[in-house]
């Protein structure tokens, strides 16, 4: 059996399949893709994923894209502890939370993160290098996303709305985790894996909401997941010292 995973840091989307594979005990070949230097747009990677998106899972020659469906594929395709609840209500809740992460929390977290951290890093690059980087991008959607980042073209209204959504996300997570041990209910699942790396940034991004007084259940949930051996093993794949020590 051959399992390969192309990924960047084990956070946000990249962290989902890494943690899932580690939880299932699946041995895989890790290919670290340098997103900030455009490695995802090189011909070698585009041959694997023509959109230049990361992560990508390759299992015995079958290529799987999109990080959230990737988790369900990993749970179905490999032996090991189940990452989906048996109860149909909890399984539906697992999918609802995963969708919430993809459509509400994730995009807002990305906008704040790219504006605060990635844009200053890109400004340090040579303009000719940045122009060459942008020419490699195969889709108009990603070209526009990188343009906004490189030019720091985020309006105050966009950033304010993203911060509002992060605060709402912290409140919703706290409310759920005050009633159930895990996001789907009584069992640790893909919902927890899919939301963990996003939610782990909330205490830093919205400390006025994601703190020990207002969100104690959320903070305890973050620490319980962080302490899992599979998650620690996933974080060890990081090339960022801060990420490994979070």
DSSP 148-216: HHHTT---HHHHHHHHHHHHHHHHHHHHHHTT-SSSSSSS--HHHHHHHHHHTTHHHH-TTTSSTTT-H
Residue carrying structure tokens 């749970």 = 75
Contact 16, 66 (CB under 8 A): no
Lowest-confidence segment of 52-61, 89-98, 130-139, 168-177 by average pLDDT: 130-139
DSSP 65: -
- Is the pLDDT at 170 greater than 80? The verdict is yes
Query: pLDDT tens, 213-232?
Result: 999 999 999 999 999 999 99
Contact 190, 84 (CB under 8 A): yes
| Mean predicted confidence (pLDDT) in 89-118 | 94
For 42-132, strand residue ranges (E) read 56-59, 62-64
| Sign, Cα dihedral of 72, 78, 83, 84 | positive
Query: For residue 193, what pLDDT is reported?
Result: 98
All domains in the chain, ordered by first residue: 3-77 (3.40.30.10), 88-228 (1.20.1050.10)
Average pLDDT, the chain: 93
| Mean predicted confidence (pLDDT) in 12-40 | 95
Q: How confident is the model at residue 179 (pLDDT cuts 50, 70, 90)?
A: very high
| Mean predicted confidence (pLDDT) in 112-137 | 84
Query: pLDDT tens, 56-76?
Result: 999 999 999 999 999 999 999
Query: pLDDT tens, 125-169?
Result: 888 888 888 888 888 888 888 887 888 888 999 999 999 999 999
| Mean predicted confidence (pLDDT) in 89-98 | 98
Query: For residue 242, what pLDDT is reported?
Result: 37
Lowest-confidence segment of 33-37, 93-97, 237-241 by average pLDDT: 237-241
């Amino acid at each position: 059996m051959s399992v390969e995973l192309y990924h960047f840091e084990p956070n946000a989307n990249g962290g989902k399949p890494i943690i899932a594979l580690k939880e299932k005990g699946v041995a895989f070949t890790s290919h670290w893709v340098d997103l900030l230097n455009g490695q995802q747009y090189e011909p070698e990677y585009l041959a694997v994923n023509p959109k230049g998106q990361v992560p990508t899972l390759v299992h015995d020659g079958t290529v799987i894209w999109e990080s959230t469906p990737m988790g369900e594929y990993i749970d179905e395709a490999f032996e090991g502890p189940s990452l989906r609840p048996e109860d149909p209500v909890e399984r539906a809740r697992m999918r609802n939370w995963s969708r919430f992460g993809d459509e509400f929390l994730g995009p807002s977290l990305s906008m704040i993160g790219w504006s605060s951290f990635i844009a200053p890093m890109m400004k340090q690059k040579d303009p000719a290098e940045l122009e060459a980087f942008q020419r490699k991008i195969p889709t108009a959607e990603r070209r526009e996303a990188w343009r906004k980042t490189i030019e720091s073209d985020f309006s105050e209204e966009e950033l304010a709305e993203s911060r509002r959504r992060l605060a709402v996300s912290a409140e919703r997570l706290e409310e759920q985790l005050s009633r159930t041990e895990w996001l789907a209910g009584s069992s640790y699942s893909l919902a927890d894996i899919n939301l963990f790396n996003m939610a782990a940034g909330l205490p830093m991004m919205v400390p006025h909401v994601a703190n020990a007084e207002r969100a104690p259940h959320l903070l305890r949930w973050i620490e319980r997941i962080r302490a899992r051996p599979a998650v620690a093993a996933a974080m060890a794949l990081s090339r960022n010292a801060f990420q490994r020590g979070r």
